[in-house]
Structure 1
C-alpha cells in the first residue's frame, strides 16, 4: 500500500507526545498536566529527527502532540510539516505550544496544518490553565471525555 493510501493509525487519546527541548518547560508541562489530567500518559522527546519513522512503527499513535517550535536540529515547524505529510498520522492533533508570538510563525504553522497555536505563559498558574484548556478542548473534539468542562482554546 502506498503512503498516500495508507490508513490513519489508531489514536490513543490517553497519550500525549511532548516535543520540548527545554528541561524546565518539560518539567512545567509534566507538573501542570499531572495536576489537571492525571490519567494522561506523557511521552517526552527533545528532538524531532526520526520522529515520523518511530510513530509509523507503532500500532497506535498519541492522540495529541504538544510541539515546541524552537528546538535544536530539526525545528518544530519542520516536524509539523513532516507529520502532516503522512496520511497515516493525519488524525493526530498537533498543538504548537511555544514562546514565539511572531504573527508570521503563527500563520505558517496554521498553513502547515497545526490544529492550535498557543503561547506559553511565564506565570505557572496561567501556563497550567492554558494547557488544561487545550487538552480538554482537543480530547472533547475527538469524542473523548476530558472531565469537567473548560473554555475552548483554539
Structure 2
C-alpha cells in the first residue's frame, strides 16, 4: 500500500503495543509470538507524546494495539492525538481494552479507532482474539478479500 500524500511509510509487519500492565504485555507478547512469529513487536507503557515519536521515524508500525487505561495521558487522548495527525492516517489503531461498556466502545470509534476489542481473561481466547485482529487488519491493508467483521462484530 502506497501512503497518501504526507503520510509516513507503513511497515505492515510491525506492531506497536501501548500497554502499561506487565501481565497484559507479557500475554500479548507470548500470544503474538505463537501466532505470528515473523511479526516485529514493540512495546511501550506510556502514550505521552506517542504521535510525535512516531513522526520522528522514517517508517511507522502498521498496527497499534492501544490500551485505554494508561498512566499520564490516557488512551482516549492518545487515540485523538494519533488521528489528529494526517501523516499517521494509514496506521491501524485497535483499542484493546477491559471495558465492554457500549458508550466506551462508541467513543473510541467516534475518535477514530479502527476496531475495539475486549481483552479476554482466558489466555487461549486472548491469543485467538489477537490472532484474528492481526490477520484481519493485515489482510485489509494488503488489499485482500473481506474476511468478515472485526472481533467486536462491526
Task: Tell me if TM exceeds 0.5.
Answer: yes
Residue 63 (structure 2) aligns with: 64
Distance 1:20 1:64 in 2: 14
Distance 2:121 2:26 in 1: 13
Residue 7 (structure 2) aligns with: 8
In the TM superposition, what is the alpha-carbon distance from 1:153 to its structure 2 partner? 2.2
Residue 153 (structure 1) aligns with: 150
Secondary structure of residue in 1 paired with 2:99: coil
Distance 1:17 1:123 in 2: 22
Q: Show CA shifts across 1:10-69 (max 9, x none).
A: 100111000000000000000000000000011000001111111000010000000000
Shift in CA distance, 142/6, structure 1 to aligned 2, threshold 3 Å: closer
Distance 1:116 1:136 in 2: 13
Distance 1:138 1:6 in 2: 22
Secondary structure of residue in 2 paired with 1:33: helix
Q: Which structure 1 residue ranges, 5 or more long, are not aligned?
A: none
Distance 2:139 2:149 in 1: 10
Moved over 3 A (4+): none
Residue 46 (structure 2) aligns with: 47
Secondary structure of residue in 1 paired with 2:42: strand
Residue 36 (structure 2) aligns with: 37
TM-score, length-scaled by structure 1: 0.90
Q: Show CA shifts across 1:80-125 (max 9, x none).
A: 0000000000010000001011111100000000000000000000
Residue 84 (structure 1) aligns with: 83
Distance 1:54 1:144 in 2: 28
Instruction: Give the number of equivalent residue pairs.
Output: 146
Residue 114 (structure 1) aligns with: 113
Shift in CA distance, 144/26, structure 1 to aligned 2, threshold 3 Å: farther
CA RMSD, 1 decimal: 1.7
Distance 1:81 1:117 in 2: 15
